């Protein structure tokens, strides 16, 4: 998964982002509106991490989403009768 996919499915991503960074409010996420730079800036503001740390945390989170969110083709093949 990459950030373009996160941005495209922003409604679904908001809940997962809020579970990771609990200080983000619904209003914050509405203002972020799928823009990575806004998310990073808000995390910097709320948590006080170094910019490089925030960038890495977001990168890691995005990579993790690809691992926990099965692709539709994988889901279909897993549900197919054998």
What are the pLDDT tens digits along the chain (82 aa)? 789 999 999 999 999 999 999 999 999 999 999 999 999 999 999 999 999 999 999 999 999 988 776 555 555 555 566 5
**Domain annotation covers residue 28:** yes
**Domain annotation covers residue 13:** yes
How many other CB atoms are there within 10 angstroms of residue 41's CB atom? 14
**Domain annotation covers residue 66:** yes
Q: Which domain holds residue 70?
A: 3-77
Query: Residue 57: what pLDDT?
Result: 97
Query: Residue 67: what pLDDT?
Result: 77
Number of domains forming the structure of the chain: 1
**Domain annotation covers residue 82:** no
Answer yes or no: are the C-beta atoms of 62 and 3 closer than 8 Å.
yes
**Domain annotation covers residue 35:** yes
CATH number, domain of 35, equals: 1.10.1470.10
Q: Does pTM top 0.85 for this prediction? A: no
**Domain annotation covers residue 72:** yes
**Domain annotation covers residue 43:** yes
């Amino acid at each position: 998964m990459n950030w373009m996919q996160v941005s495209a499915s922003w409604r679904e991503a908001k809940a997962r982002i809020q579970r990771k960074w609990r200080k983000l409010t619904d209003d914050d996420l509405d203002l972020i509106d799928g823009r990575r730079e806004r998310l990073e800036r808000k995390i910097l503001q709320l948590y006080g991490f170094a910019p490089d740390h925030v960038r890495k945390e977001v990168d890691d989170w995005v990579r993790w989403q690809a691992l926990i969110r099965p692709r539709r083709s994988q889901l279909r093949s897993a549900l197919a009768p054998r």
